Structure 1
């Protein structure tokens, strides 16, 4: 499974595996992304090292993660998605983030680049 073959599946599985899994975070990242993967999230550029630095402490904060995909589109090497990430925190509370993502795929179907705009919305 790659983002090309199942974008919605990737959007659901990747946060689960990266944020809650026991597997090495670098292995999870490499499964879905190219070595030169770059994420620009709300104007902040995250390369592979910065993503891994973000994933490791997130595993300590999250008690649960759920993704609700509204739209997921693949057209050639381009992807677009609109979805919500709902994080239940170990210290209590829930954070719901609405995400608008546009990306570029590599020839092997993994993500090469993604740009996201996010906003926190009230949790139900």
Structure 2
């Protein structure tokens, strides 16, 4: 994985590509996958809704069932220390529909690249 400081945009792309690959392309236990990419005390605030580790694991069920493909266009990304801020467009294709979302992400990561906290605001086009 690319260093957070060296190239924050590539770090973010690599993080989500690897997470999605492990969730969609393997039969590995979802909890093991989530723990590989997130700290045990992870809290994600997505559009005002808190998502802890257990909710994150539950969220993997429809992802694994629908097997969507996704592509990120990172427009801006900056990092300082363990913090990353980014603005990107997420293109998701699955068997039911296609989505395009504008995403504003503010996150903190551990030195080994796991997410410990994030705040996300999205707008679907």
Q: Does 1:104 align with 2:122?
A: no
Match of 1:59 in 2: 64
Shift of 1:63: 3.5
Equivalent position to 2:91, from 82, 86, 94: 86
**Structure 1 runs, 4 residues or longer, greater than 4 Å off:** none
Q: In 2 relative to 1, CA 3–94 (structure 1 residues): closer, same or farther, beyond 3 Å?
A: farther
Match of 1:71 in 2: 76
Match of 2:31 in 1: 26
After TM superposition, list the pairs within 5 Å mapping 1:31-42 onto structure 2.
Answer: 31-42=36-47
**Counterparts of 1:16 and 1:3 in 2: how far apart (Å)?**
19
Q: In 2 relative to 1, CA 71–27 (structure 1 residues): closer, same or farther, beyond 3 Å?
A: farther
**Counterparts of 1:13 and 1:81 in 2: how far apart (Å)?**
18
Which secondary structure does the structure 2 equivalent of 1:90 belong to?
Answer: coil
The number of residue pairs the alignment matches comes to 119
Query: What value does the CA root-mean-square deviation take over the aligned residues?
Result: 2.1
State the TM-score, normalized to the length of structure 1.
0.81
Q: Which runs of 5+ in 2 are unaligned?
A: 6-10
Q: Which runs of 5+ in 1 are unaligned?
A: none
